[in-house]
Amino acid sequence: MSALSAPVATGIAHAVVLSAVPVPTKLRRYLQGDDYIVACDAGYRNAQRLGVVPDLIVGDFDSAPQPQTLPDHTIVLPHVKDDTDTHYAARWLLEHGCRQVTFLGALGGARLEHTVANLHTALFLAKNGVKVLLADANSELRILCPNKPMTLLKGDWAYLSLFPLDGVLDGVSETGVFYPLRDATLTPDYPLGVSNEFVAPQAVLSCRSGHGLVVLSRADG
């Protein structure tokens, strides 16, 4: 099927993209009843594991057999293409008006390059005004955008890290953390922003230019 021949979907408030890395059932908490569910290739196995039916399945099915779904609910991609299956799904959602996307099964696994590619996909969405969250059992990742302060609740998170994604991250401020920053500059060749800690119920991050990868992590062990 071609790029936009899947079921017509407009006004999607929140989509969950299920990629191929196995997702534990406890991550079901990230799903809401009215989410638009997109399974990417072997990600349909995660849909089965989480007990949800995808609204759309996208992939070239090189990592899993094509499921027996209605043709209207599947976009079969060519094996030779520029997009990853997950990036294609992200573009499709953007073109259909989605403004918030959660990725599950997009981190870790045997193929490190796919994790890196998925971070690039998250950046692509964030630059186009989409609010993005990537989650696994031990972490949550978000994209910090210029002049859009981000408030993070401590909850049970142990560490908070911030890394530049697309060059220099300038005018960085962090409050509510053990190592506060004010009008700082973070560069890709020095991990100054790694493993900060909350000292208040919430932390606030902001930057003036560039985009940053925000990582919340639980304690080791």
Task: Residue 118: give the domain boundaries.
Answer: 15-137
Q: What is the pLDDT of residues 137-176, one digit of tens each?
A: 999 999 999 999 999 999 999 999 999 999 999 999 999 9
Together in a domain, 92 and 162? no
CB contact burial 114-145 (16+ within 10 A = b; e otherwise):
bbebbbebbbbbbeeebbbbbbbeebbbbbbb
d(CA 168, CA 185): 7
Q: What's the total number of domains in the chain?
A: 2
Beta 131-135 vs 139-144: how paired, if at all? antiparallel
The tens digit of pLDDT for each residue in 169-199 reads 999 999 999 999 999 999 999 999 999 999 9
Where residue 63 sits, what CATH number does that domain have? 3.40.50.10240
Residue 5 belongs to a domain: no
Asked if the structure places residue 10 within a domain, the reply is no
Last residue of a domain, one of 76, 106, 137: 137
In the three-class reduction of DSSP (H, G, I as helix; E, B as strand; rest coil), residue 187 is classed as: coil
Q: Is the pLDDT of residue 25 over 50?
A: yes
Q: 76-86 pLDDT, tens per residue?
A: 776 667 788 89
Considering the domain architecture, whether residues 104 and 213 belong to the same structural domain is answered as no
**Nearest CA among 140, 157, 150 for reference residue 201:** 157
Residues 6+ apart with CB under 8 A from 175: 200, 203, 204
Is there a single domain that holds both residue 84 and residue 34? yes
